[in-house]
Amino acid sequence: MIIHPLPAAAKSGLRILAIAALVMLTVSPASAQLEPAWLEDVTAQALIELDCEVAYFMSTREEELGGRMMHEARLQCSDGRQFDAVRMSPAEEFTFKKCDTQIC
């Protein structure tokens, strides 16, 4: 059996199809990870209280504690500051503690 190389035009077309497929996979709602709604709360509160534009969350956790849902997050601001945020129930505001090198 003889295998002939693909013409340049066919290679280009296949390359475009492969790139298009990758783009569709990365922006597809099915592949997007759903974030808990409370992350929007902590992001908004950090902006207002700390003048912190959240760049990303290093960790998040929600846990039922004493019949109430507790939320914890470690976040990093776009300016490099880091904070731990905790709220003991969805009805409460988050409390923030600045992370120092020794603490975090």
Q: Which domain holds residue 71?
A: 38-98
Give the pLDDT of residue 7.
Answer: 61
Q: Is residue 43 part of a domain?
A: yes
Model confidence, pTM: 0.64
Evaluate if residue 47 carries a pLDDT over 80. Answer: yes
Can you tell me whether residue 59 is helix, strand or coil? strand
Q: Is residue 70 part of a domain?
A: yes
Q: Is residue 8 part of a domain?
A: no
Q: pLDDT digits over 3-30, tens only?
A: 656 566 555 554 544 444 444 443 434 4
Average pLDDT over residues 74-92: 96
Handedness of CA 85, 38, 78, 31 (dihedral sign): positive
Q: Is residue 17 part of a domain?
A: no
Average of per-residue pLDDT values in the chain: 79
Q: Is residue 7 part of a domain?
A: no
Work out how many domains the chain is built from and give that number.
1
Sequence-distant (≥ 6) Cβ neighbours of residue 25 within 8 angstroms: 31
